[in-house]
Structure 1
Amino acid sequence: MSQQDSVDALIRDQGVLFSEGMGATIARNTPQELFHWLCGSVLLAARISSDLAVQAAQGLRSKGLHTVDALVAADEATIMRCLGENGYKRYDGVGTDYLKATARLVQDHYNSDLRNMLDDDPDAVLGRLKEAKGLGDTGAGIFAREAQLVWDVFYPRLDGPAIRAAETLSLTTDHGALVSMAGSRERFVRLAAALTRADLGAPSEAVRQTVV
């Protein structure tokens, strides 16, 4: 088996984007979809399983609490109840505070559109993302990992978990080589998600069988 086989198996078996699991369609590159992914990144950055964070972000969307205006207008009890009912009970209070503060930040500083924080400096954009309460380096990296699908400033990007998984699976960590093996920008982003899933949990059996 080759590294190409591993890349193909990762994308095929574990390449669902975390944002997709939440119901956010980043490929649209719209304020609403990007903000929903930012909320998801805030939830994923907490010390809780990724599955529960995804479930909580799904819950926000199902209640219409995934937009800037909706979160700013919602009372804290409503948000807290939504998070608690969707697996985020341990952090529902903190999560509510973070989400409300993040919504106000995006509304006040970026006219409710995250695209207004963009420029050509990835570190500067990451710094602006970290202004969101509770996001920090980890959360900003989570957001960037899938936002690179539409934000050129971050492409191509692999963060810590994906790099660890690549090393474990005897894959190169050279971004150019992985972009080439992935074959497209979307597939590279799915590869980054797949490697992250492999690090957080475990590689699928099909992926393990390809390891050189």
Structure 2
Amino acid sequence: MDRDPRDARDVLRELVAAHGRTYAEEAGIRLADTPQPLYQSLVLAHLLSARIRGSVAVATARALREAGLRDPARMAGASWQERVDALGRGGYRRYDERTATQLGEEAELLTDRWGGDLRRLRAEAGGDVSALRRLLQEFPGVGPTGAGIFLREVQRVWPEAAPYLDRKALQGAGRLGLPEDPGRLLAAAGRTEPAVLAAALVRVSLDKNLVRDVTGRVRERAG
């Protein structure tokens, strides 16, 4: 059963205050509608979509940037072994060999088809979010989950994608006893930025301990 609307607002306020940080922010990506941060967000979404801890994917995104693999030209120009080594330094060892290949192919496709600029992919979609999802899934290793993660993160700079609450975000809402209907959930969240709300809810879907954390914060505030 969903919480009372006023109770839901309290829960969302504490959730966002404690855990409202996008994965791009955690990975040190200064998101903007420019080629490099958009590409880095695609790589992050690719990494997050595997069955691996989010903290490892974030650390690996940082490791790739620290290795100089910040844009598609550098990623495609790196050797397969250089990509494997960078993935390993981030802790992404279970999928490192396959992912190293996919990242190279992904960078080559982005360069060949869209000139290394995801804004051109966006233009090709013409404001259609379904088309965006379809085009994103043309990248090797980016399936429906990866495309959803990318749109969830970049909705703050691609407003046609907002509000974007994917299945994981809605699962997190359910764990907190919040509405799993996007419209009702957004109404309860008020002015909270959808990208921040979605990231916080995803964290709850992945870590049941956060339910106790958030409800405990609400009780403490209620006094």
The TM tier, using the shorter chain, reads over 0.9
Asked if the contact 1:21/1:58 (under 8 Å) is kept, the reply is no
Equivalent position of 2:197 in the other structure: 191
Give 2:138's aligned amino acid: E
Hey, what's the Cα distance between the residues in 2 that align with 1:72 and 1:37? Answer: 16
Equivalent position of 1:6 in the other structure: 11
Equivalent position of 2:3 in the other structure: none
Q: Which has the larger radius of gyration?
A: 2
Structure 1 gaps, min length 5: none
Asked if the contact 1:15/1:190 (under 8 Å) is kept, the reply is yes
Instruction: Confirm or deny that 1:157 pairs with 2:161.
Output: no
Q: CA deviation at 1:136?
A: 0.5
Equivalent position of 2:77 in the other structure: 73
| Other structure's SS at 2:94 match | helix
TM-score w.r.t. structure 1 length? 0.92
Hey, what's the Cα distance between the residues in 2 that align with 1:76 and 1:160? Answer: 33
| Other structure's SS at 1:38 match | helix
When the two chains are superposed, the root-mean-square deviation of aligned CA atoms in Å is 1.7
| Other structure's SS at 1:70 match | helix
Instruction: Confirm or deny that 1:136 pairs with 2:143.
Output: yes
Equivalent position of 2:101 in the other structure: 97
Asked if the contact 2:60/2:87 (under 8 Å) is kept, the reply is yes
Structure 2 gaps, min length 5: 1-5
| Other structure's SS at 1:131 match | coil
Hey, what's the Cα distance between the residues in 2 that align with 1:149 and 1:36? Answer: 15
Q: Which has the larger displacement, 122-131 or 195-204?
A: 195-204
Asked if the contact 1:42/1:98 (under 8 Å) is kept, the reply is no
Give 2:105's aligned amino acid: A
Hey, what's the Cα distance between the residues in 2 that align with 1:183 and 1:166? Answer: 15
Asked if the contact 2:16/2:197 (under 8 Å) is kept, the reply is yes
Q: CA deviation at 1:206?
A: 4.1
Give 1:114's aligned amino acid: L
Hey, what's the Cα distance between the residues in 1 that align with 2:190 and 2:70? Answer: 32
Compare relative contact order (CA 8 Å, sep 6+) and give the higher one, 1 or 2: 1
TM-score w.r.t. structure 2 length? 0.88
